[in-house]
Amino acid sequence: MTRPLIKVPQTAKRGEIIEIKTLISHPMETGYRTGLNGLTLPRDIIQRFVCIYNGTEIFSAAFSPAIAANPFLSFFTVAAESGTILFQWRGDNGFSVTETADITVL
Amino acid sequence: MPSLRATAKQSRAAWHFGLQRRSAPRNDGGFVPDSGFTPVGAAWKGLLVPRSLGVLLLAAAIAQPSAQAADPPPENRHSGYAFMGPSLRAMQDDDMANPASLWLQDGETLWRQPAGTAERSCADCHGDATASMRGVAARYPAFDARNDRPINLEQRINRCRTTRQQAAALHFESHELLALTAYVARQSRGLPIAIKDTPALHPFVEMGRRLFYERQGQLNLSCAQCHEANAGRSLGGSTIPEAHPTGYPLYRLEWQSLGSLQRRLRNCMAGARAAPYAYGAEAFVDLELYLMWRANGMPVETPAVRP
């Protein structure tokens, strides 16, 4: 239901270092906890995040069960050209969310 | 020995409401050392006065409730924010890093989404929440004439759902109710908490205050013993805050989720090994009301982040 929150500057100067922030709703269930019925809760985590800037992968992250729920990421890149930045989260149980943001480089 | 601390608080409230206490003075927990020196009033924490002087002060307080016997002045109260480290503060301050923003986003969607057999959304009646809900959460729990007692914000939202939207009430701590409550309360961020000083609320504030100072559970602890007598000190690895509910519903790292004040209070009660009240219980609303009244004037931080 919840869409991820993404912060990318709408415009940037060519060559400028920009900060990108993402926040996504996810339980990040570790697979080590027991539920109320005494059975182990199956693992349900995001496994991989990639950020693609006009077709080039500029950042990726491998997630582990030790990462907290609703993971927040912040990273930097150089504003090279105008275009689209694509964000993708993939995880257990077929979890897959893709979002895009546009950036204009002046 | 009768506690001067408790008596000072009683006259404090009496000063605020302009009324005298109905119940007998209460011992607030026996933290007062029997050393011939007696600390007087939470606001004077650390200041020791000879007992004879304390008795004089007490007599003065009874005869003429003065500003000295009032609640701790605003500069002596601290939100839980003041006890957090820089990284947690940064997390609360930056809307992008604050995970509660995910709930706010859903709350905004729910606000515009028609619900129930009336097919009406919150926005159909209340319009733009940023204008119509500004300052509303700062006044809750508020007196509700229909129930003849105060109700909290969650209950108020559910009232609208059942009567106006003709939809089922949302469950306490459900994602939807937390999202809507957070979205409404967000519109009061930065505004001072403003519980109305109306006679109708007085008995319920009084009840909440009684609960705050009442020992409970197998550990035989009152709220005040931690949150007044030992606020700012450590309990295990955590700093004990002063119990000013300025940021609810808030994102708690321990929960990895947003949660209401009542969830927090249930945690505390379980910690004192008392049987927690049910969500929405009258005693909870009274306690919530007292805590908000005690925090009157402090800015709303919703949605806050806490460890």
Quote ipTM for the complex: 0.91
Condensed to tens digits (0 to 9), the pLDDT of residues B229-241 reads 999 999 988 999 9
Provide the CATH topology of domain A5-30+45-105: Immunoglobulin-like (2.60.40)
Q: Which CATH superfamily is domain B78-307 in?
A: Cytochrome c-like domain (1.10.760.10)
**pLDDT value of residue B76:** 85
CA closest to B91 among chain A residues: A72
**pLDDT value of residue B72:** 52
Three-class DSSP category at B215 = coil
**Is B226 a known active-site residue?**
no
Q: Please tell me whether the peptide bond between B141 and the residue prior to it is cis, using omega within 30 degrees of 0.
A: yes
Instruction: Check whether A28 has a pLDDT greater than 80.
Output: yes
CA closest to A74 among chain B residues: B97
**pLDDT value of residue A1:** 54
Helix axes B4-17, B51-63, angle to 10 degrees: 20
d(CA B7, CA B27): 9
Tell me where in chain B the CATH 1.10.760.10 domain(s) lie: 78-307
B106 to A1: CB separation less than 8 angstroms, yes or no: yes
**pLDDT value of residue B71:** 54
The dihedral sign for the CA sequence A28, A33, A37, A43: positive
The candidate with the shortest Cα–Cα distance to B103, out of B245, B258, B254, is B258
How far is the alpha carbon of B71 from chain A, nearest alpha carbon, in Å? 39
One-letter amino acid of B26 = R
Measured between CB atoms, which of A5, A25, A70 is closest to B96?
A: A5
pTM value is 0.80
Query: Is B291:B245 a contact under the CB 8 Å cutoff?
Result: yes
Residue A3 — very low, low, confident or very high, per pLDDT cuts 50/70/90? confident
CB contacts < 8 A, A to B, total 34
Q: Which residues of chain B fall short of a pLDDT of 50?
A: 1-70
Q: Does B106 touch chain A (CB under 8 A)?
A: yes
Condensed to tens digits (0 to 9), the pLDDT of residues A35-56 reads 999 999 999 999 999 999 999 9
Domain ranges of chain A: 5-30+45-105
CA closest to B253 among chain A residues: A68
